[in-house]
Amino acid sequence: MKLSKLLGFLTFVLGLVVMIGPWTFARACYDNEMAAGTLVCHTTRLYALIGGIVMLLIAIILFKVKNFYVAKIMTFLLMALGIAMILLPIAIAPVCKAPSMACRTLMLPFLMVAGGVVTLLGLLFLVKGVKREVPKDTKDDNPETTGKLAEEQAAEELPPLNPPVEDTTPSGRFG
């Protein structure tokens, strides 16, 4: 299995977990837990749902991708989404401030761990597995240039930058 397909599969599973988690096992606070006003953790839950949907879209693109550069860009987007997922319950859309609230004890650590896993997965993919493959039709079959560096080939083809100039001045100082 190619590494991009494995990353796509793991991203798909994490995207589903991030989408479902804040609505079920890593839930936000219930409406009756707060006496008046709206709960800020419901906004965090909505943003986590949107982040999970974006993760699913990135996973689908990683399943289908055959281009090296597209896979690399998707990996960078995935890492940025993971960092945003870490910052979501802290800075982007903070959860409730009371330490006994369900969103602080369940959703905050869940989103931070999920974001960390996504970021590490993308980083691992970049460090370990992304290697540029040379397409078969661009290989050099010329025996004269095989093994030469690109700079050597360019130096053979181009004229020198400063061609020698003939001295046309008369001999002596005042000629």
Average pLDDT (10-38) is 81
Query: Who wins on pLDDT, 41 or 119?
Result: 119
**Distance in angstroms (rounded) separating the CA atoms of residues 139 and 85:** 43
Average pLDDT (28-34) is 69
Average pLDDT taken over every residue of the chain: 78
**Distance in angstroms (rounded) separating the CA atoms of residues 70 and 86:** 24
The HSE-up count of residue 9 (CA atoms within 13 Å, CB side) is 6
Query: Who wins on pLDDT, 144 or 55?
Result: 55
What are the φ/ψ torsions at residue 165 (nearest 5 degrees)?
-105, 135
**Distance in angstroms (rounded) separating the CA atoms of residues 7 and 11:** 6
Q: How confident is the model at residue 138 (pLDDT cuts 50, 70, 90)?
A: very low
Give pTM, 2 decimals: 0.68
Q: How confident is the model at residue 149 (pLDDT cuts 50, 70, 90)?
A: low
Q: Give percent above pLDDT 70 in the chain.
A: 69
**Distance in angstroms (rounded) separating the CA atoms of residues 38 and 26:** 19
The confidence score (pLDDT) of residue 120 equals 93
Q: Are 41 and 105 in contact (CB under 8 A)?
A: no
Residue 95's closest CA among 85, 103, 105?
Answer: 103
The confidence score (pLDDT) of residue 156 equals 60
The confidence score (pLDDT) of residue 137 equals 47
Residue 111's closest CA among 10, 38, 25, 34?
Answer: 25
Q: What amino acid occupies position 86?
A: I
Q: Which residues of 128-149 are buried (b: 16+ CB within 10 A; e: fewer)?
A: eeeeeeeeeeeeeeeeeeeeee
Residue 146 clears pLDDT 60, i.e. is over it: no
Tens digit of each residue's pLDDT (9 = 90 or more) over 94-136: 888 888 888 889 999 999 999 999 999 989 888 876 554 444 5
The confidence score (pLDDT) of residue 50 equals 94
Q: Which residues of 82-114 are buried (b: 16+ CB within 10 A; e: fewer)?
A: bebbbebbeeebbbbeeeebbbbebbbebbbeb
